[in-house]
Chain A
Amino acid sequence: MSVLLDVKNLRVDLPTENGMLHAVRGIDFQVRRGEMLCLVGESGCGKSMTSLALMGLLPRKAICTADRMAFDGVELLGLPDKKLNQLRGQRMSMIFQEPMTSLNPAYTLGNQLCEAMLEKPGVTRAEARERAIYLLHRTGIGNAEDRLRQYPHQLSGGLRQRVMIAMALMCGPDLIIADEPTTALDVTIQAQILRMIRELQREFGTAVVFITHDLGVVSRIADRVAVMYAGQVVETTDVAQLFAAPRHPYTRGLLNCIPVRGKTLPGSKLQAIPGVVPSLVGDVGGCVFRNRCSLADAACEQEPPMVNTAAGDKIHYARCHKVTAADAMQLSEVAA
């Protein structure tokens, strides 16, 4: 599988009243054709900023730099708007979190679905409509022809999100960036939508960057996972490895503080990660997790390297000085 999206040293800075906020501090990742990469992290880790940077949707004040941000060989940074618009919607598309506000209430669904496809030269209205109906069907929406004439406010949240997914698939993109697409939905609807995304992704061979904070979702749909913390990727590997043998103390702490049936004793104390995420405004140096990590010592004042801890040609990166020490700890021992 060839590399579709290649990101090296992506940085996003935002000037604020209190100083420069370093939202994303040098992240690397790759997405291959047809694979599902999950970017997982808590609020403030920079995952949404990353997705906005990839699509060129950052706020005007934001400063985005990277050594490389290439989509299928085309460098995205500095690309003129016209070329970027051609890529967006046709080869790269995005699904947003809030189904209530990401559709334009003033236009019909048919209008919005066909909009992106009609930008392509040589596509007729009839063809676009046909594809829209087909995709609405595939995303599980009944009465597709009637739906085309409806307005967003006439649909529930779950249906709107399905329409968003259909919209994202209209031009047959190679890459979809999904920013927490199921977070605002009910649990049962979420399961259906996730299942559908996975099926469609496999069927169309689309690569997906799936951004979420929910490790349960990650475990069920991801091929590969990149864990983000405070603007950096702290661990990345395939999904089975991540849950079986997490290397970074933050990942371990995160996995340990989720109550899981059969694993955590009901009524017992959860193993929380003490402390809070440090501020990313102003100078940030050294290992950013060290104020919450039980393994931290003087060496952690230095920026930790990204170490590949897997044997052979497997990949399991962790950004930590103490990787080998952490390996020796039991999985259930906490970062506390």
Chain B
Amino acid sequence: MTTISTSSMPTGQTSGFLQATLKPVPLWRRKLNRMLGHRGLVLGAVILAVIVLAALFAPLLAPHDPFEQNVSQRLIPPIWNALGSWDHVLGTDKLGRDYLSRLIYGARVSLIIGCAAALISGAIGTTLGVLAGYFGGRVDALISYIITTRLSMPVVLVALAMASLVGGSLKVVIILLGLLLWDRFAVVTRSATQQLRDAEFIAAAKAIGASTPYILVREILPNIMSALIVVITLEMAHAILLEATLSFLGLGVQPPTPSWGLMVSEGKSYMFFKPWVIVIPGVALAVLVLAINLVGDGLRDVNAPDGRN
């Protein structure tokens, strides 16, 4: 029996003069460096972190109870106005509730809805997309048909219609948005899966005897993660804005729960006299959505040039 000879070995065995090689930088560290170098990503991540932390520590940060009404204190302007006071830094709304506290607690609503809706729609969309992309043929045709049907629906109108039928609440909004926002997930994962389907490592996995569920979950899914993460962040932003819209129209979160959309709605009759009532939650929404989009874009940029080195 022959042993495996040195002429098939890759290591240099003929001379001791090896080039000084640099210590290889671990993969995660390289990714982290790239992420830290991307200004948009860092900015978005910082803003998002601030908002998330504020939402988490709301009971500690909010100076007042957001539900506490005090009619004698209604519509006090924020601190930068001559009539403002440090007692209510961002003023009060029409029922005398402290605006800053409502803003901080409102962040919770936005973030919960954003995350939950993104997760539910992500689960639905990814499943459909991966199945369509992997199996092709009739499965793909059917799922594409479903996707097209969903795309032809105006999301806001459908959401409104459903909400008015069932009545608005936090739970309803989450379920509704989860059931409506999966289309982008499906489209993106479908094309990503199609590209992977013919990769040789999938063929190798089949040749080893891997079952189809195994291939879908353990071979394909991890490799479409980077595309998926980007879509998750974007759909989160989408869900947050939709919730604000629904609440503004009275069909989302119901009062007295603080929701930024609801706060805008409650202030609309005072829009011209007391603009801060709608400007503050409006700005908060814009900042949150911007931050999420920056993170999503940044993640996509950072992951994009990941190819062969």
Which residues does chain B contribute within 8 Å of A17, judged by CB atoms?
25, 30, 33-34
B10 at the interface (CB under 8 A from A): yes
Nearest chain A residue, comparing its CB with the CB of B14:
A294
Which of B16-24, B87-95, B125-133, B136-144 contacts the other chain? B16-24
Q: B26-47 CB contact bits vs A (8 Å, 1 = yes)?
A: 0000100110000000000000
A279 touches B19 (CB 8 A): yes
Nearest chain B residue, comparing its CB with the CB of A270:
B7
A278 at the interface (CB under 8 A from B): yes
A291 touches B22 (CB 8 A): no
Number of A-B contacts (CB under 8 A): 65
B8 at the interface (CB under 8 A from A): yes
Interface size, A (range) = 20 to 34
Which residues does chain B contribute within 8 Å of A291, judged by CB atoms?
12, 15, 17-19
Which residues of A in the span 261-318 have a Cβ within 8 Å of any Cβ on B? 269-272, 274-276, 278-279, 281-284, 286, 288, 290-294, 296-297, 300-301
CA distance A301 to B16 in the complex (A): 11
A19 at the interface (CB under 8 A from B): yes
Q: A15-28 CB contact bits vs B (8 Å, 1 = yes)?
A: 00111000000000
B7 touches A278 (CB 8 A): no
A279 touches B14 (CB 8 A): no
B211 at the interface (CB under 8 A from A): no
CA distance A286 to B20 in the complex (A): 11
Which residues does chain B contribute within 8 Å of A293, judged by CB atoms?
14-15
- Min Cβ gap B52→A in Å is 30
- Min Cβ gap A22→B in Å is 12
> Secondary structure of the A side of the interface?
loop
Quick one: which of B14, B22, B25, B34 contacts A274, CB cutoff 8 A?
B14
Q: A269-B5, A271-B7 are in contact. Are A278 and B14 (CB under 8 A)?
A: no
B9 at the interface (CB under 8 A from A): yes
- Min Cβ gap B25→A in Å is 6
Which residues does chain A contribute within 8 Å of B19, judged by CB atoms?
278-279, 284, 288, 291
CA distance A291 to B17 in the complex (A): 5
- Min Cβ gap B190→A in Å is 23
Q: B272-286 CB contact bits vs A (8 Å, 1 = yes)?
A: 000000000000000
- Min Cβ gap A267→B in Å is 12
A336 at the interface (CB under 8 A from B): yes
Q: A271-B7, A278-B19 are in contact. Are A336 and B14 (CB under 8 A)?
A: yes
A292 touches B7 (CB 8 A): no
B6 touches A274 (CB 8 A): yes
CA distance A304 to B17 in the complex (A): 15
Q: A269-B7, A275-B11, A276-B10 are in contact. Are A282 and B22 (CB under 8 A)?
A: yes
Quick one: which of A276, A286, A288 contacts B12, CB cutoff 8 A?
A276
Which residues does chain B contribute within 8 Å of A290, judged by CB atoms?
15, 17
Chain B residues within 8 Å of A, Cβ to Cβ: 5-15, 17-22, 24-25, 30, 33-34
13 of the cross-chain contacts (CB-CB < 8 Å) are A17-B25, A271-B7, A272-B7, A275-B14, A278-B18, A278-B21, A279-B19, A282-B20, A290-B15, A290-B17, A291-B17, A292-B12, A296-B14
**Additional pairs, 19, CB under 8 Å, beyond known A269-B8, A281-B22, A336-B7:** A17-B25, A17-B34, A18-B24, A18-B25, A269-B5, A269-B7, A272-B7, A272-B8, A274-B9, A274-B14, A275-B14, A279-B22, A282-B20, A283-B20, A291-B12, A291-B17, A291-B19, A296-B14, A297-B15
